[in-house]
A and B are shown apart, each in its own frame.
Chain A
């Protein structure tokens, strides 16, 4: 199984400031035949299912604000929120879909400082 580790576990950022969440996979999730990273990011608010934000490590889902961006390749990935808004308070998860069993990071709880 591919292990997914996020850091930090929790993060407090001031409104309007940048938030950065890291995700590391235990093996590469880059498929060389198509040069795509099989890595996605979700946002989860209390009482709701996870919501898709980013796929292929850096492709923003339709409707997701452009303050959210994803980067990285191979085993190291980052989700960046360029200017934190109050509605961004949530838990964020990375997930690999390179191979089954699909696996998730443990989550990063993002709060307002």
Chain B
């Protein structure tokens, strides 16, 4: 059974960097049949897909336009995990952040991490 365990701070200061990690068990971050995604949820924006990474002979990255200039997603094969770094955060970035797997022949988000509520405040 695949499980995703998120970690990272719940409070970030404005203009600083939000960093979250998602540790994978039961699957491999380098799998050629999956993608690894970050999604956030807030009352104002609902569920919003942020971006993904996946390995197909090399690493690929796709980002939502809304965060493209501020977001970096990385994979760490030695720890079987992937991460999110969102730079220059503002109070608008307050949300619950989720990591999630997509198995490409099915295409849906399953499973999800447990979620991390991130607040942006000084």
Whether B47 lies near A93 (C-beta < 8 A) is yes
| B104 closest partner in A (C-beta) | A97
Q: Count of chain A residues with Cβ under 8 Å from any Cβ of B?
A: 19
- Interface size of B by Cβ–Cβ distance < 8 Å? 22
A100 in contact with B62 given A49-B98, A95-B47, A107-B46 (CB within 8 Å): yes
Q: Tell me the nearest residue of chain B to A1, going by C-beta.
A: B65
Given A49-B112, A49-B114, A49-B115, are A100 and B49 also a contact pair (CB < 8 Å)?
yes
CB pair B47 A101 closer than 8 Å: no
Contact: B108 with A52, CB < 8 Å? yes
Contact A55 B113 (CB under 8 A): no
A28 proximal to B (CB < 8 A): no
Flag if B113 contacts A49 (CB, 8 Å): yes
Whether B47 pairs with A50 at a CB distance below 8 angstroms is yes
Interface of A is mostly: loop
Residue B55 is within 8 A (CB to CB) of chain A in the complex: no
Q: A residues bordering B, Cβ < 8 Å?
A: 38, 40, 42, 48-50, 52, 55, 61, 93, 95, 97, 100-104, 106-107
What are the 3 A-B residue pairs with the smallest beta carbon separation, nearest first?
A49-B112, A104-B47, A97-B107
22 interchain pairs, CB-CB under 8 A: A42-B109, A49-B100, A49-B112, A49-B113, A50-B109, A52-B109, A55-B106, A61-B110, A93-B47, A95-B47, A95-B108, A97-B108, A100-B49, A100-B52, A100-B62, A101-B64, A101-B65, A102-B37, A102-B49, A104-B46, A104-B47, A104-B48
